[in-house]
Structure formats: structure tokens, C-alpha cells
Chain A
Amino acid sequence: MVQSVESVIKKHPFFAEMPEKHLEFIAGCAKNVAFPELHAIFHEGDPANEFYFIREGLVAVELVIPHRGATTIQTVSEGEILGWSWASPPYRWHFGARTLQRTRALLFDAKCLRTKCDYDHDLGYELLSRFMGVISARLDATRLQLLDIYGRDN
């Protein structure tokens, strides 16, 4: 069954309890996209003018390390948000993203949302407070990764 972008957005916990008018606007900035396996969605350093809601598949967030090549920092999968570099200057991707499986996603035009948020602070608050939740969860996860909790000393 084909679902409209709006109905997909409304069902996702990320947008839970967001006022209808904002949802309508956000849905207007979104479109369905699909990527084949091992497709580079964006590269580190490129302009960050979108973010993604992964509907299906698996995406590696990568950093290129000299002499080691692309190294996966984390993976993002179904139901998760990919990308927040669009929300703060210089609006360039801090990491790259590459699909590990065939992936379907909603692409949000962040440039359009950013401009709108400059004028509509209510929308800006609603959106950025939700991204704060995502960023905070990723920070917790990263801290646990840094602790090397499965190492010999733990």
C-alpha cells in the first residue's frame, strides 16, 4: 500500500504531537527517495541541505581516515533520522553516508526548512527540540562506544 508523505510523517514518533500546520509544511518539504546498495548519499564536506528519515534499509555514517579509508562510525536504520549538519553553520556534512543495503527514505529539504524556521520560531523550536533528542541519544551512544565497555577491563 502506498502511503502519502504526510501520513508517513504523522505516524513517526519524531513528529509526535507536532501541530498540524507545521506537519503540513514539513510534509511539503519532503519527498520519497530510494538508493541502491553501496550508494553514497552524501560526502563529508559537501553542503548539508537535507536530512533523511530512513524508512527501510541500513546506512553507514562514515569518516574517511587517511591510509584506512572510509570507516563506519555508526549505522542508521529503519525509523531513524540521518543528518543534522544542516541545522548549524557552516551547513556542511561532518561525515559521509553510504547505504549498506537497498534503502528507502524520506528526504527533507532542509534549506527550505531552515529559511522557514528563521521566520517561524515556533516551527524552529518544534523541529530543533526534536533534533536535540536525536543528538542527545547519539551522544549517549557515542560515549558508550568510547568507553569500550566490552573490553578486557570491563
Chain B
Amino acid sequence: MGEIIEAEFAERTATDPMVPELFRIDRLKRETEDTFTLELVPVNQDVKISFLPGQFNMLYVFGVGEVAISISGNPALTSHLEHTTRRVGVVTKAMGLLKVGDTIGVRGPFGNHWPVAEEDGRDFVVVAGGIGLAPLRPVLYHLMAQRERYRNIVLLYGARSPEEILYKRELERWRGKFDLEVQVTVDRGSSGWRGNVGVVTPLVARAPFNPSNTVALICGPEIMMRFAAMELQKRGVPPERTFLSMERNMKCALGYCGHCQYGPTFVCKDGPVFRLDRIASIFGKGEI
């Protein structure tokens, strides 16, 4: 009887996107004071890991709740999943208390993805703010892995302070490459900081890319994305080649519950990546 139930459960898990899959925390990395990255491996070794840059998973801390978190790892690696998050709500605070070896429920991947496959020969400008770098990290891995397919690649990243810069070692490594421009700025410099101070959006004006042949990807607080989009438009990047990752209160991740409604769309199934011209009439509207 027990075997039959287990078999039924396994079948449901494989076909029902509402049923979480068990994953074990394989590694836990503290990124900043309140931000951490989980490396997750499936308990069931038959589970295949596959996702596209920009997609998200629903992570379930048992007994506490479920929360949507972008996938922040390398899409070419199928051995594990990576999720970077900040301890900010009930679920993520509980998640921050988990240890290596603990299990967590995972549903996904959900949502659409950053448009990279169909943009050969373009310049890419990636504008990230705060923890908004996490959903853009997979796309950076992809762009680097397929470097010969693209022209200039520019990463503009703004953080609150030097201590709150995500993926510091990786940024340093990327900056050291001669085929990627990385510019980092912080809102508040500390005494040892010798880099840019100020918001990320003015960096757009002087970044090395050809606006008429550029795809822009933006992720961060919505106000930052609005100003970044304005700067990109000033430079001449058309809205149909400007993409943003939106965030709303995602619950079911399948467009059933309506919690993440954004105008006529649901962020979970129609997004989270939106083309600027397609949301121009509602983007930045306080009522939406």
C-alpha cells in the first residue's frame, strides 16, 4: 500500500506544478550581512535541473510558507540550483536559519526569461540595483559563455554600500576580463572605498555601448528601473529592446490566484520579464 502511495506521489510531483519537489541544501554562502545564497540539490536524483535566465522558483520552508525567488545560478550547470535572497520577510528570515543538509520544497521553474537567444550580434547593457543583480546573474553567465555571439557587454551595478555589493569575487573576476565592462557604484561610500559613489542610473550616459544596436536588461527596485529606463531612452535605446524584471506578490506562480496581477497581466506567468513598450502605459503608475 505504502509503495503505491509513494508511486502516486512521485507521479503527481512529476506532473503537478503545485506540488513541491524536495531539495537538500548542499552549500550556504553568506553574501552580505542580510543576504545569502543557497545551493540546492534534488533529493530524488531523477529530478532534472533546467531553467532559463530570468526564471524563478517557489521555495517552500516547511511549516512557514512559500516565496518566489529568482534563480541566480549558472543555467549551464545542471548539478544544482542557486538562489540568492535577502532576509526580509517571515519566509526568507526562516530560510536564513536553515543549515546545510536541511531540506526545502521547490516548485518551478516558472515565468518567462531574458531575451538572449535571439539577439546575436547585439550590444548588451545590464543595469542592476541591489539584490536585482541576482536574477541577472544567470544571463551574465550565459552572455560570457556565448561571448562570441555578442558585441559589447556592459554591467552597471548599484549597491547601497561597499559592504552590500553582491558576488564581489565574481564581479572582480568579470571586471578583470577584457571583454566585459563592469561599473559598480554605491549610494554611500566608506572610508576605504575608491570607486564610484552615486546612484547607478547616471552610469548609463557614459557606458560604452551602441544604443542603436543594444538590448538593455534592467532589474532592481522599481523606482531605479524607471530612472534607468529613462536614461536608456535618452541614450537612444528603443523601448522594444529594453526589458525589465518586475516583482509582485507571487503565490501560485501559475496565473491562477491573481495575487501578482499587474494591469492586464500576471507577473508569474506573463513575466517576470517584460518588454518596456508593452507595459509603458502602466509602468510607474502608483495605482497598478
A interface list, Cβ under 8 A from B: 58, 60, 69, 71-75, 77-80, 100-101, 137, 140-141, 144-145, 147-152, 154
Residue of A nearest to B187 (CB): A145
CA gap between A14 and B223 in the complex, in Å: 26
Contact B194 A141 (CB under 8 A): no
Contact digits for B187-209, partner A, Cβ 8 Å, 1 yes 0 no: 11101011111110110011000
CA gap between A101 and B193 in the complex, in Å: 12
Q: How many A-B residue pairs have CB under 8 A?
A: 71
Q: Chain B contacts of A147 at CB under 8 A?
A: 223
Chain B CB within 10 Å, residue with most, of A75, A77, A101: A75
CA gap between A78 and B195 in the complex, in Å: 13
Contact A100 B194 (CB under 8 A): yes
Q: Chain B contacts of A60 at CB under 8 A?
A: 189, 197
Contact A149 B221 (CB under 8 A): yes
Residue of A nearest to B88 (CB): A152
B20: interface (CB < 8 Å)? no
B160 CB contact (under 8 Å) in A137, A140, A151: A151
Q: Which residues 132-189 in B have Cβ within 8 Å of A in the complex?
A: 158-160, 164, 185, 187-189
Contact A144 B196 (CB under 8 A): no
CA gap between A74 and B198 in the complex, in Å: 5
A140 CB contact (under 8 Å) in B88, B131, B187, B227: B227
B129: interface (CB < 8 Å)? yes
B34: interface (CB < 8 Å)? yes
6 smallest CB-CB distances across A and B, nearest first, come from A150-B130, A150-B160, A74-B198, A72-B189, A149-B221, A144-B199
Contact B34 A154 (CB under 8 A): no
Q: Chain B contacts of A78 at CB under 8 A?
A: 206
Contact B206 A148 (CB under 8 A): no
Q: Chain B contacts of A80 at CB under 8 A?
A: 206
Chain B CB within 10 Å, residue with most, of A72, A101, A141: A72
Q: Chain A contacts of B196 at CB under 8 A?
A: 58, 75, 77
Contact B34 A152 (CB under 8 A): yes
CA gap between A100 and B199 in the complex, in Å: 18
Q: List 21 A-B contacts (CB under 8 A).
A: A58-B196, A60-B189, A71-B189, A72-B197, A73-B197, A75-B196, A78-B206, A100-B195, A140-B201, A141-B201, A144-B223, A144-B227, A149-B130, A149-B224, A150-B129, A150-B130, A150-B158, A150-B220, A152-B34, A154-B130, A154-B223
CA gap between A34 and B281 in the complex, in Å: 48
Contact B202 A141 (CB under 8 A): yes
